[in-house]
Structure 1
Amino acid sequence: MLKKLKRKFILITMTFITLILVCVITLLCLASYQRTKNDINNSLNFALYKYDDHPTLELDYSTKNLQNDNDPPPNMNSFTIITDDSNAILKLYSRNYQISDETSQNLVNSIQDKSQGILFEQNLAYKKNVKDNGYIYAFVDISIAKSNFISMLVTAILVAILSILAFLILTILLANWALRPVAQSWQQQKRFLADASHELKTPLTVILANTDLALIKKQDESKLKQSLQSIQSEALRMKKLVEDLLFLAKNDTQKENVLNSICNISDIALSCVLSFETIAFEKGIILESDIQENQLALGNENQFKQLISIFLDNATKYTPTGKKIHFTLKKKDNQILIIIHNEGSYIDKENIKHIFDRFYRCDPARKYQGGYGLGLSIANQIASNLKIKIDVSSEQKKGTTFTLWIPAK
């Protein structure tokens, strides 16, 4: 899928780039062609009317500087031929162009029925005007202009090819960079699906086994109750997974405005800490709290409670027996700080970068109990909704600290 998406991205991008380059180069070539054509016409008109106005004028173009605003480009060598009405040559004026009388007569004879055109074999452009009792022919050497245009065209094509190759390399690099988050998300989802399949398979097996036991008629009441309790426990576990997924999916598609009421963060935090004291005690963990009273913030009470509960749940899961969890709530300037520090657990820098990624687990082997790798991702989403900043630090000897910066009301 990713390879197909990458190929499609590169194909579409390169198609647009190639079309743009072709259009630009075509316009440049057309502009150059038109400019060359205009230069040739200007040179022909110059050579033609220069002597049409002065029929007896003879100038040595090799010794006179004729360049002014009306003169042709210096690389446009030309010559003018004046003939009688039978096309016999009367005058020949040359501007830096060597030509014999015989060749001149042949040229005149070859174009006597045409008024303007190009002699490709001789690399000459010509124009003919009718004079009193004769004709005047202007010829311009287009070999340099032709060579320059061909060189420009070849250069433009080479530049286009090199540009396309350069853009292709850049597009491939850009595609790799742009699709990296997609690839990471895809890998995380694949990993999650594998883990979720395993996690769901186990409770489903337990539920089915206990259902079979419950359906046995000759079974005492205590065993039946035990089977039903096991079914309920596993069903609740699966329900929690589905709820987490629905929450994330809802936030992905619809951003809800939750900054709609003033909440007493101190009371919410105290309630969460009290609910986790029993869990911590059962695990042999000491949960200490220092909560500054009556701290208010704008938000949603349920989401504040869910956010704090996620971090406390995470701390109780990953704190070894006999260690402490320190929960602190205090006000600093215009911010309310919630600091959850648990001893004994350590997250390396590489894992810290990803702990809020969806489906990510620092411990793929699932050495610790519970969890689907969604809790901190949900916490990060709630924090984003509530405009809360989260900082994470971890030291091998001291443990891990999560700091929540909540805008105070």
Structure 2
Amino acid sequence: MRKIGGLLLCCFLLNGLNGQHQVKTRKELQREVIRCINESAQQYKVMMQRLDAARFPVTWYAKEDKLVTSGSEPWVGGFYPGALLYLFEYTKDSALYKEALQKLNVLAKEQYNKTTHDLGFMMYCSFGNANRLAPKPEYKTILINSARSLASRFNEKVGCIRSWDSDPGRFMVIIDNMMNLELLFEATRMTGDSSFYRIAVAHANTTMRHHFRPDYSSYHLVIYNPANGSVLKKQTVQGAADSSAWARGQAWGLYGYTMAYRETRDPKYLEQARHIARFLLQHLRLPADKIPYWDFDAPGIPDAPRDVSAGAVICSALLELATYTPLKESKGYMKAAEKMLQSLCSPAYRATIGGNGGFLLKHGVGNYPRKADIDVPLIYADYYYTEALQRYRKLGMKR
């Protein structure tokens, strides 16, 4: 009963803060963003002190004060060094850079890992950012090898990259996989080999045909027949129901098609991103502070848990989408992104320095149906939060 009461109190406080937020001016939010970048750098120094050299942060359990870590193999490995690099980009704090490089050394062997579809998350969020800030031949080699490993999972008959390997007789593809295509686009730029590009485009096209409902919400998982590419089943494994709109899945779709438009300039991807954005921003169950519940159809709304990881991904995606659309539409995306960013920077979601196990954001949801990582910090939420901070800072420099 005490645990339920605490959850209800947390939800009450979050809902109360929604109404109390006063919208900051653009100049005020720019100042807030700079403050958050600097404080995030301080917070990650707390994280650095808690981590073993060969481990990567995943989450933190407050009750036990337990930092949950992993090796380099899981999908989350690239987010911590990537976030460090985003923070270093502004602060120029050499301690952050040194930590990022140390983790890159541990992660490098995953360039040959052909057992996962998540090499974009793992290698592009990490080595992609490292190469962007300080290009090196070894980074280029690692990114190309990673793209080759990812491309090995492509099936011509299906037109997609396989996600899960649990059943060889069924070809499983999750919406998350849209995020890994950026690595393939980068590999074509680096090598001139258009096969990476063709695989990325084929995957984006197949996903657009089969993952989305008429309202532009998406399923989490589509299962194909590997022999002929026919659709066998559609599910939402991490959502409230197969028919529901799992929030992080919608975020992956929005970000993925915005990125696909950037890389190809194909207008159908821009249209897809705009449709997904419209679904999200006009949804009656999107809270006033714009940080979504873990599923738009979650039972118990408005007392259902929020998911800052979905909020951070959507915020970052909207900041980019706003740069590709007509002025009136762009203003709408920017206004929503600014509201999200203001919420993420507020005490309702952002940790105080020294708390939250060293993570930046509170109130993430990993896998609700499995009762895993509910109302905890998540390293991928931190990554897309630092990306959103940097994107907004850079947009302000252009004005």
TM-score greater than 0.5 by the shorter chain: no
Question: Higher RCO, 1 or 2 (CA under 8 Å, sep at least 6)?
Answer: 2
Bigger proportion of residues as strand: 1
TM-score normalised to structure 1 length: 0.23
What TM-score results when the alignment is normalised by the length of structure 2?
0.23
